[in-house]
Amino acid sequence: MSIGRTTRFRSGIMVILIGLALAFPGLADYKQNVGKGLNFFSRDTERSMGQRYSEELNAKLPLITDPYVNDYIDQLGRKLVENSLQPDMNYHFFVVNDKDINAFALPGGYIYVNRGLLEAAQDESEVAGVLGHEIGHVIGRHSTNQMSKQLLLTGILMGAAIGTSAKSDKWGEIVGALGGVGVYFTTMKFSRDHERQADWLGLESMAKAGYDPQGMVDFFKIMDTQSKGKGAGLAFMNTHPLPAERIKNMTKEIQILPEVSETPIRATRSFEVCKERVSQWPAPPPGKDKTLAAALASLDTTDQYQTTQPTVPEPSFSPNFGNYTFEIPAGTPWYDTGIDVYYGQAVFIVAQGQIYWKKNSNEWCGPDGAPNTGKGFWKPIPSVNTGTLIARIGDSATNVFPIGSGRSFQCPVAGRLYLGINDDNAFDNRGSFQVAIRAGQ
C-alpha cells in the first residue's frame, strides 16, 4: 500500500518521535538506561497498580504470618533496597506458604518469596541474591515496559497525551483494558535484557550491602541444574529462564564489582532461625497447595475495573499515522510488510515474543537477539546479535538496520519496508515475533 508523501509533521508528532527515539537507544549496554525504554506508566501509576494487584493476590494466596519470618525478609529486603540505585522506594515483602521454588515482583515494589525457595536456599547470601534480582526488575521498570509493548501491539493506545507525559490519570482505563493481575501474569514474560539487567542490579546492591554476590550465582546454578533435571516445583525457572551465558556474565561482573567486602556475608544465624521457623509452619494439605498458578486460576480475569469495555479515545494524531501489526515467524528471511515508506517519514516499530535461535535446543531469545554469539547472516551489520529483529528499506543491502524490541527513526531512503530476523542459518523455525508498526503519513 502507498503512504502519503507529506514531509511535514505536527509538533505533537515530533515530540512523541523524539521521546521514542530517546527511549530506544538500540543495542545499548544493559547496564545503561536503567528504568528507561517504552513506558506508558508513571512511577505513581506503577505503585497504584502494584497495590491493587497485591490486594487481589493476597486474598487468594496463603501467606505465612510468622512475625519473625516476615520481619527477617522485610529487613533483608530493605537492606538491599537501601544499597540499590533507588534507595527511597517503598517496598512490601511477602512470604507465601507454597512449596514451589519461586519468587516474583509486582509493579511498584511488591515482592513475594515462596517458602520453597527459603527451604532450598543454603545461606542468606543466596536469598539476598534472589531478592536483589527481583528488586532489580522493579528498579528497571521491566513489568510496565512489557505491558506498554503489549498495549501497543494490541492497539490499545491512550492518545497523544501518553507521549507528552500526561499519563497518570489514564492508568485505570489501561489496566481495565488489559485485565487484572491474572491477565498480568499470563501475558508477562521478561526479555533476556531485562533478566540480565536485573542480575547486574542485584549483584551491585548485594555487594554494597556487604553480601557475597557469589550467592546469587550459586543459587541460580542450583536452579539451572535442577531445571535440566526437571526438578519438581521449580516454578522459578519458568518465569526466570537462565541461559548459561547469564551465569558467565554474572561471574565476570563479580570480578569487577567495586564494593565487595573482604569478609562478605554468607551464612547468618538469623537465616537459620528463619528457615527453621518456616519448616515448622503448617504446610497446605497434600494436593491443596495454593500455588501462584492456582491462585491466578481462581481469580476472575475478566475486566475487574469497569463494568463495560472502556472507551479508548482515538489518538489526536490518528489522521497522520497508519497502524499495522504483523507476526514474523522464526526462520523468516524477509517479510514484506506491504508498507511503502518515503524519505524523512517517521516510523516507530515495537516487537516482542521469542524464537529458538539454536537448532534442536530450547535456547531462545527476544527481538533484541542472543548476545555475544558473534554470528549474523545479514550484512553489513555483523555486530548485531543472532536472532535480532532487523529491517530493510527497498532492495539494497546497504539499507539494512537493526530494530530489536523497539526503534523509532526517520526513513533515510524511499522504498518498500521489509522485516527479517538476523539469521545464522541454525533456526529450527519455532516461535515468532509480534510486531507493531506506526508509520507517519
Instruction: Tell whether 364 is covered by a domain.
Output: yes
Take residue 171 and report the three cell numbers written for it: 492508568
Q: Count helices and strands (H / E) in the chain.
A: 15, 12
- The reply to whether 96 and 218 lie within a common domain is yes
Does residue 3 belong to any structural domain of this protein?
A: no
- pLDDT band at 13; cut points 50, 70, 90: very low
Q: How confident is the model at residue 175 (pLDDT cuts 50, 70, 90)?
A: low
> What is the percentage of the chain residues whose pLDDT exceeds 70?
67
Domain assignment of residue 55, yes or no: yes
Q: Which of 20-29, 314-323, 397-406 has the highest mean pLDDT?
A: 397-406
C-alpha torsion sign, points 151, 156, 161, 166: negative
Which CATH number belongs to the domain containing residue 358 in this structure?
2.60.120.430
Contact of 187 with 150, CB cutoff 8 Å: yes
Using CA atoms, how far residue 247 sits from 145, 200, 253, 327, in Å, is: 24, 11, 10, 31
- The widest CA-to-CA distance across the chain, in whole angstroms, is 71
| 317 DSSP 8-state letter | T
Mean pLDDT of 173-183: 53
Which of 239, 263, 297 terminates a domain? The answer is 297
Q: What local confidence, expressed as pLDDT, does residue 136 receive?
A: 94
- What is the extent of the structural domain holding 79? 43-297
As a whole number of Å, the CA-based R_g of the chain is: 23
Residue 302 lies in a domain: no
In 91-230, which residue ranges form alpha helices assigned H by DSSP?
115-120, 124-139, 142-153, 160-163, 171-178, 181-187, 192-208, 214-228
Q: Are residues 273 and 321 in the same domain?
A: no
Other C-beta atoms closer than 10 Å to the C-beta of 391 total: 23
Domain for residue 33, yes or no? no
* Number of domains the chain contains: 2
Q: What is the pLDDT of residue 301?
A: 39
Residue 32 lies in a domain: no
Name residue 237's amino acid.
Answer: M
161 & 77 share domain: yes
- pLDDT bucket at 76, cuts 50 / 70 / 90: very high
Same domain, yes or no, for 372 and 233? no
For the stretch 273-300, pLDDT in tens is: 999 999 999 987 665 555 555 555 554 4
Q: How many CA atoms lie within 13 A of 129 on its CB side?
A: 27
Which is more confidently placed, 171 or 7?
Answer: 171
**Mean pLDDT (the chain, rounded):** 74
281 and 406 in a single domain? The answer is no
Structure letter (DSSP) for residue 209: T
Has residue 266 been placed in a domain? yes
- Decide which of 297, 330, 356 is a domain's last residue: 297
Clarify whether residues 80 and 159 are in a common domain. Answer: yes
Please give the Cα distance from 351 to 408 (Å, whole number).
12
153 and 241, same structural domain? yes
Q: Do 204 and 240 share a domain, yes or no?
A: yes
Section 358-376 average pLDDT? 72
**Domain annotation covers residue 179:** yes
Q: What whole-number distance in Å separates Cα of residue 257 and Cα of residue 23?
A: 27
Taking residues 27-40, what's their average pLDDT?
66
Residues 245, 137 share a domain: yes
Give the number of residues written for the chain. 441
* The pLDDT value given to residue 228: 65
pLDDT for position 187: 55
Tell me how many degrees the CA angle 247-248-253 measures, rounded to the nearest 5. Answer: 95
Query: Residue 252 corresponds to which cell in the numbers above?
Result: 565476570
> Quick one: how far is CA 392 from the chain centroid?
27
Domain check: are 210 and 331 in the same one? no
For 160-198, give one letter per residue: b (16+ CB within 10 A) or e.
Answer: bbbbeeebeebbbbbbbbbbbbbbbbeeeebbbbbbbbb
Between 181 and 163, whose confidence is greater?
181
263 and 176 in a common domain: yes
The rounded distance, in Å, linking the Cα atoms of 139 and 425 is 37
Q: Are residues 365 and 287 in the same domain?
A: no
- Residue 209: its pLDDT value, please? 95
